Structure 1
Amino acid sequence: MSGNALKDLNTLPAYERKNESSSKGSFPKPYIGNATENVEERQFQRQQKNSASLVPANANGVETLNNEVETVTNGIEISSEVEYIESENLSDVEDLDSSLKTILTGLESKDWVLVCESLNIVRRLSIYHKETMLNTLGDVISLVVKSLKNPRSAVCKTAIMTSADIFNAYNEHIIDSLDPLLTQLLLKSSQDKRFVCEAAERALVAMTTWVSPVLLLPKLQPYLKNRNPRIRAKASMCYCRSVPRLGVEGIKAYGIDKLVQVAASQLSDQLPESREAARTLLLELQTVYEQSLDLTTVTVSEHPEMGSWEHFCQSKLSPLSAQAVLRVTNITRDGIVLGS
């Protein structure tokens, strides 16, 4: 992983303050007579003015975002309406050659509407003509990352949707360009702007669904130690989703002991999402371990306790970590038995 990627993550504050009124979908009550409160109200109004408002999906299932008109080309104001089209509703490009020739220029444009249009062309090419973009995929992903950093929500969300389609189409072909893309998606999934956050989470799900877990897990692991708890939580959830895709033989080849150590480190994490992901992963690993245990070996046959999950954890983890792992897996298993 590049140092710049981790540097970008570490600049994010450990706690991002949520605006209570926006999280509840309502505006704050008017403030009267208090200078400090009046300042806060003006700050909130400026934030609301600068933020785009999400409009419900239209009859065709397309989300529309209304922004203030800010772009003028040749004296003509560009339409401020940007459509968010789901992947299944995207049509093929009309002119393949023209799209391929202009795609990089469009993505580099300073016209945010043109950038959004170009991102949607990338999505169409990924779906209908993915082979034609292979030679320029690295450059395309670099410009998608640039759009992910764009402060305008319309550009950012369209870039997130583009990332999901790229994961779906190119799988392991994107692994060399994944670091900056992964960094930005983790950042966006950890912020407070709900519709951007939800789109980023869907893109991360697409990543863990379509990118080879053998290649993806080493990319995710450094984020599990990031100083921002939200980043750690999102990375833990991605890690938990990726491991089962290895399959029993893949988990054994990767190393159950290494995976148990990673999961154990997340059990004491600050956020419940991290801890829950760790518990889920540990149960998966316990099941794989017990299924793969070779009971025909002399050592295990003569000394069954040597092959137990408890002995395995105690031999691979520190005493405190082993105790935490066994507490989680035993309690959960006992609960399943009692509830069955």
Structure 2
Amino acid sequence: MSAKALKDLNVLPESERKIESSSKGSFAKPHIHADENIQERERKSADSLVKTPINGNDTVTSVVEVGNSEVEYIESENLNDVEDVDQSFEMLVAGLESKDWVLLCETLNNVRRLCLFHKEKMEDILGNVISLVGKSLKNPRSAVCKTAIMTCTDIFKTYGDHIVDSLDPLLVQLLLKSSQDKRFVCEAAERALIAMTTWVSPNLLLPKLQPYFKNRNPRIRAKASMCFSRSVPRLGVQGIITYGIDKLIRIAASQLSDQLPESREAARTLLLELQTVYDKSHDPTPTTVAEEPEMNSWEQFCQINLSPLSAQAVLRVTNISREGLVMGS
């Protein structure tokens, strides 16, 4: 055998080397397994993701291209019902546990369809489904992660308060994903958080958000502050009074000195809302003003409920904003 032939034989896969050595002059039919093709395709896709340079928007672009070759991101209003409801339900859990990322994305989209078109039937398995969706949020493949985030959005819109007991594993991941560098994942997570604060009652959601104000990750604290600030006004004036302005002002004051500007801005927005509600609920009558002019003032309320430094910081924010409104009027 020539040197060139030996060289060619060495680069062949082992199975083909055996065919070549054992069947000279005969042609062996290639035997291809579909599962092997899927595994090989996933391996190549994973390799391409790993080798993609992480450099600003370049990462986002490359991941989107890989994802879009197999997965389509469908907006909620463009989703159609599943073709076979019973079969979709039977395959749901297995599909959400699958290691085939394309099948996983297809199943997540089916979860969205079933939530939108078969709300009542989904309720029986919703807790288990939410747990598996939470695992998909942790998937390192961006296409899976974004599809799972879109699934969360539709779950919030469909079930609202009914998912509060299962919210924690979704919430921590959405706060994290909304603060990451991959723009198309970050934007989807932001929309999911907005849907959450829109469709989940604030009196149920606010206690879920509070623990994240002490999270070590400043980005998570900032996103939690923004969600909290969006949710409080939905309580309404009476709801805020019932929840406790004193409790809310302490939470907002603690975020005024946080590391990221997003936290501080959310705190300022919340404080102005609280001041407006307080003024409406403590509009003094002429008699009260004559007897105890300082009793119902916002300044005194802050000084009673906050430390001297925190009260000073809160009053600085609210007084500057009030002066700006007066000058602009």
State the TM-score bracket (shorter-chain normalisation).
0.7 to 0.9
> Alignment partner of 1:269: what SS?
coil
How far apart are residue 65 of structure 1 and its match?
A: 3.6
Residue 110, structure 1, aligned to residue 99, structure 2: yes
Cα separation, partners in 2 of 1:304 and 1:313, compared to 1, 3 Å: same
Counterpart-to-counterpart distance in 2, 1:86 and 1:246: 29
**Aligned residue identity for 2:117:** Y
**Aligned positions of 1:158-197 closer than 5 A:** 158-197=147-186
> Alignment partner of 1:164: what SS?
helix
**Aligned residue identity for 1:219:** K
Mind listing any 5+ residue stretches in structure 2 that lack a counterpart? 1-48
1:249 aligns with: 238
Larger mean Cα displacement after TM superposition, 254-263 or 292-301: 292-301
**Aligned residue identity for 1:136:** I
1:269-292 per-residue CA deviation (whole Å, 9 max, x = no partner) reads 111100000000000000000101
Counterpart-to-counterpart distance in 2, 1:203 and 1:193: 16
The normalised TM-score by structure 2 is 0.80
How far apart are residue 296 of structure 1 and its match?
A: 4.6
Mind listing any 5+ residue stretches in structure 1 that lack a counterpart? 1-43, 56-63, 69-78
> Alignment partner of 1:48: what SS?
coil
Counterpart-to-counterpart distance in 1, 2:289 and 2:110: 59
Residue 123, structure 1, aligned to residue 112, structure 2: yes
1:67-97 per-residue CA deviation (whole Å, 9 max, x = no partner) reads 28xxxxxxxxxx9421001111111111212
1:174-216 per-residue CA deviation (whole Å, 9 max, x = no partner) reads 1111111101111111111111111111111110010111010
Is the Cα–Cα contact under 8 Å of residues 295 and 301 in structure 1 kept in the other structure? no
Query: Aligned to 1:267, which of 256, 264, 279?
Result: 256
2:15 aligns with: none
Counterpart-to-counterpart distance in 2, 1:293 and 1:271: 33
Counterpart-to-counterpart distance in 2, 1:328 and 1:192: 31
Over alpha carbons, which structure has the higher Rg? 2
1:230 aligns with: 219
Residue 67, structure 1, aligned to residue 56, structure 2: no
> Alignment partner of 2:71: what SS?
strand
Which structure shows the bigger proportion of residues in helix conformation? 2
Cα separation, partners in 2 of 1:224 and 1:67, compared to 1, 3 Å: same
How far apart are residue 48 of structure 1 and its match?
A: 2.9
Structure with higher RCO (Cα < 8 A, 6+ apart): 1
Counterpart-to-counterpart distance in 2, 1:103 and 1:209: 27
The normalised TM-score by structure 1 is 0.78
**Aligned residue identity for 1:46:** K
> Alignment partner of 1:307: what SS?
coil
> Alignment partner of 1:93: what SS?
coil
Residue 306, structure 1, aligned to residue 305, structure 2: no
> Alignment partner of 2:167: what SS?
helix
How far apart are residue 101 of structure 1 and its match?
A: 1.6
Cα separation, partners in 2 of 1:301 and 1:212, compared to 1, 3 Å: farther
Counterpart-to-counterpart distance in 1, 2:64 and 2:178: 19
Counterpart-to-counterpart distance in 2, 1:66 and 1:201: 22
Is the Cα–Cα contact under 8 Å of residues 109 and 115 in structure 1 kept in the other structure? yes
Counterpart-to-counterpart distance in 2, 1:65 and 1:84: 10
1:48 aligns with: 53
Counterpart-to-counterpart distance in 2, 1:234 and 1:49: 24
Larger mean Cα displacement after TM superposition, 94-103 or 278-287: 94-103
> Alignment partner of 2:265: what SS?
helix
Residue 289, structure 1, aligned to residue 278, structure 2: yes
Is the Cα–Cα contact under 8 Å of residues 91 and 124 in structure 1 kept in the other structure? yes
How far apart are residue 304 of structure 1 and its match?
A: 2.3
**Aligned residue identity for 2:194:** V
Larger mean Cα displacement after TM superposition, 81-90 or 294-303: 294-303
Counterpart-to-counterpart distance in 2, 1:103 and 1:137: 11
Corresponding residue pairs, total: 279
How far apart are residue 52 of structure 1 and its match?
A: 6.6
Cα separation, partners in 2 of 1:207 and 1:305, compared to 1, 3 Å: same
Is the Cα–Cα contact under 8 Å of residues 256 and 264 in structure 2 kept in the other structure? yes
How far apart are residue 53 of structure 1 and its match?
A: 5.3
How far apart are residue 47 of structure 1 and its match?
A: 3.5
1:300-325 per-residue CA deviation (whole Å, 9 max, x = no partner) reads 65112110111111111011000000
Cα separation, partners in 2 of 1:326 and 1:192, compared to 1, 3 Å: same
How far apart are residue 66 of structure 1 and its match?
A: 2.8
Residue 94, structure 1, aligned to residue 83, structure 2: yes
> Alignment partner of 1:268: what SS?
coil
Counterpart-to-counterpart distance in 2, 1:148 and 1:285: 35
Residue 324, structure 1, aligned to residue 313, structure 2: yes
